[in-house]
Structure 1
Amino acid sequence: MAEQEKHVLRTRVLGARRALTARQRATAAEELRGHVLELAQELRDGPVCAYLPVGTEPGSVAVLDGLRAAGRSVLLPVVPPRPGPLDWAAYTGPGSLGPGPLGLREPVTPRLGPAAVRTAVLVLVPALAVDRSGRRLGRGGGYYDRTLGAVPPGVPVVALLHDGELLDEVPADPHDRPVTGVVLPTPGTVATGNNGRP
């Protein structure tokens, strides 16, 4: 039942994202960049695990470059050859990216292994929607659900969303890993009811 509900919600959210104009997406990306940099300033020194958005996903390369300009090391996911936890590699600028599987770009820098997520002080994750208890709807590949269990307790796991994608309820399965908060263009960072860890 959850899978059917997830499919319906994914279709709805992806349709709404496609309806956004280029200007709306650019404005949202700039607002998200500012909120993420504010959030990162509040954290101890250490790397940020982030992601490179594709298509209409919230976020931008400017988020990654802003984190680096603020003195943070940035790690990006590397999709493994078989389904499993994500690998990680350092992002050192747009020139450090190359083609990856699933139509993604990923770092061509040395692989650091799945355990690198344990060194992060902040983990930014993609999502299609999140509810107020922290349940996250992804694209269905399960890579993040296999990865987030390794994040140490107390480390924020935050999804970047477009406005309107923080919902009262998101369908979830027992294996789905929740997030501790979301960042939206407005109102910014919002903690979810998941005060524990993913």
Structure 2
Amino acid sequence: MSEQKLAAEVRTEFGKGFARRARMAGQIPAVIYGHGAEPIHITLPAKATTLAVRTANALLSLDINGEGHLALVKDIQRDPIKQIIEHIDLLTVRQGETVTVDVPVHLSGETAPGTVHNLELTVVSLEAEATHLPTAVEVDIEGRGAGEHIHGSDLVLPKGSVLLTDADALVVNISEAIEEAAEGEEGAAVAGAPAEAASAE
């Protein structure tokens, strides 16, 4: 994943009042921490930042008063109603450094006819190089049959990544869809019984 370049400004004001004024001015309050350094409180341009953090574990290349900082998005606080970004926590990283991230699991393909799949783990934890973070772990379920299971150890990981999630953890479970259909037919029969009785009267 390539880093997104953004211009940031150091801020000296804090609190809800400042945060509200910053958002009205098209800015998002944020803080950078890590490597034992003092946290850096900044504001980021709202529109560009919102676009930049659409993917999980976005890597930002920040220009702060002419000084470059690489930072990984660790937490995004949003308004529960409007869903606008209220605050961002950033972790400073260095080229070549490895970090721990949660990466979403994406499924591709269709299982065999008459089967259904259940995604048991929507994210897995990986250790990866900070400037080459994967955006997802792809799992191909094309043609897989009932009774098949995909565990952590079966995942094809992006290059340079190490699985931290338990290797025995169940990621995808594939089962027959017949029982579900049979239950639906049985339910329909039961629902139809009173109507038949009523018509007989």
| TM score, norm. by length of structure 2 | 0.21
Answer 1 or 2: which has greater helix percent. 1
Answer 1 or 2: which has greater strand percent. 2
Higher alpha-carbon Rg: 2
